Amino acid sequence: MEFALVVPLVLLILVGVVQYGYHYWAMQTAAASAREAARRLIVGTDPTCTVAEAQDRAGGPAVGTLAPSVVYRYHNATNTAKRGALVTVTVTIQSLDIGLVPLPSGGVVTQSATNRVENVPVDPLLCVAP
């Protein structure tokens, strides 16, 4: 009888631990993807393949209906790479939300990274596979 009363609570706690663990993994993955994309953009890597690579990396923990989104922005009037300008990369993904335990923002994870542009080559650096 006691076992039947305790099992639902234990299962709820177990599911909550798994869900929050997955959510924090998604947060770390989004933050790491944003940092890596910002690092590549500040040295002059081609933005198209940098964004595609960040979306691919962020796609691992993305399990919801929201596709991984990677947006970058240079902090100047022309929104272009200029030495000394800041660049911000924002990664948004949907984390696992099974609905038993509430997650912040409904499981939507948004992480950003900002760095200062160090190099603006004449031709963007080619992307290389890691």
Distance CA(96)–CA(60), nearest Å, equals 11
* pLDDT attached to residue 91: 95
Selection from 60, 127, 120, 129 nearest residue 87 by Cα:
120
Per domain, the residue ranges of the chain are 2-116
Interior angle at CA 88, CA 38 and CA 53, nearest 5 = 40
* pTM for the structure as a whole: 0.84
Low-confidence stretches of the chain (pLDDT < 70) are 61-64, 128-130
* pLDDT attached to residue 86: 95
Selection from 93, 90, 92 nearest residue 114 by Cα:
90
Contact between 23 and 96 under an 8 Å Cβ cutoff? The reply is: yes
Neighbours of 74 (CB within 10 A): 17
pLDDT digits (tens, 9 = 90+) for 27-60: 999 999 999 999 999 988 888 889 999 988 888 7
* pLDDT attached to residue 85: 92
* pLDDT attached to residue 16: 87
- Where would I find the beta strands (DSSP E) of 4-85? 69-74
Selection from 85, 55, 3 nearest residue 47 by Cα:
55
